[in-house]
């Protein structure tokens, strides 16, 4: 194997290790969402929220990521460098779903909350619909998540 190929493989391996280590470092909480439960990684600071679920190639069915913001705000999500189709529920400070958006992988389309939100909850594409979650649904367990940081 030549040096260029070895260097490229080493770089890919390092990126995978970093991605795995970052995912492992995030706290986990269990949320009750509609008729199901989700075990979610919590992204509560700017760096964690910026990375999100980027570069992952799969996610177990009842897993997700909870983005926690330090104060209610209007914000958007996009899927650049995110390889799996997702749905996102924007949630207010009281734990009620504001709106849900389906997001295609590897796109830069903005998916925004319809009003100020404190949380965004990402799950596999269609998970919310298949568990009876819609605008107004209550998410249980958000109080277990770390507070959002700037």
pLDDT in tens, 123-132: 999 999 999 9
- The residues, ordered by sequence, that sit 6+ positions from 134 with a Cβ below 8 Å of its Cβ are 97, 100, 128
DSSP strands (E only) in the chain: 28-33, 36-43, 63-73, 76-77, 86-91, 97-103, 111-112, 117-124, 139-140
Task: Check whether 19 has a pLDDT greater than 60.
Answer: no
Sorting pLDDT into bands at 50, 70 and 90, what band is 25? confident
| Per-residue pLDDT at 1 | 53
What's the predicted TM-score (pTM) here? Answer: 0.83
| Per-residue pLDDT at 14 | 44
Residues counted in the chain: 150
Domains identified in the chain and CATH numbers:
26-144 (2.60.120.1140)
Question: From residue 36, how far is each of 13, 25, 46 by CA, in Å?
Answer: 35, 25, 28
CA distance 119 to 127: 17
């Amino acid at each position: 194997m030549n040096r260029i190929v070895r260097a490229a493989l080493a770089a890919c391996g390092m990126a995978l290790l970093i991605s795995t280590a970052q995912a492992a470092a995030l706290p986990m909480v269990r949320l009750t969402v509609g008729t199901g439960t989700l075990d979610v990684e919590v992204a509560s600071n700017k760096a964690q929220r910026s990375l999100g679920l980027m570069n992952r190639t799969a996610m177990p069915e009842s897993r997700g990521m909870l983005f926690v913001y330090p104060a209610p705000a209007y914000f958007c999500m996009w899927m650049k460098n995110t390889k799996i189709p997702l749905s996102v529920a924007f949630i207010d400070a009281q734990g009620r779903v504001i709106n849900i958006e389906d997001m295609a992988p590897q796109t830069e389309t903005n998916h925004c909350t319809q009003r100020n939100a404190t949380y965004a909850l990402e799950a596999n594409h269609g998970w919310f619909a298949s568990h009876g979650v819609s605008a107004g649904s209550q998410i249980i367990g958000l109080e277990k998540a770390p507070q959002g940081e700037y």
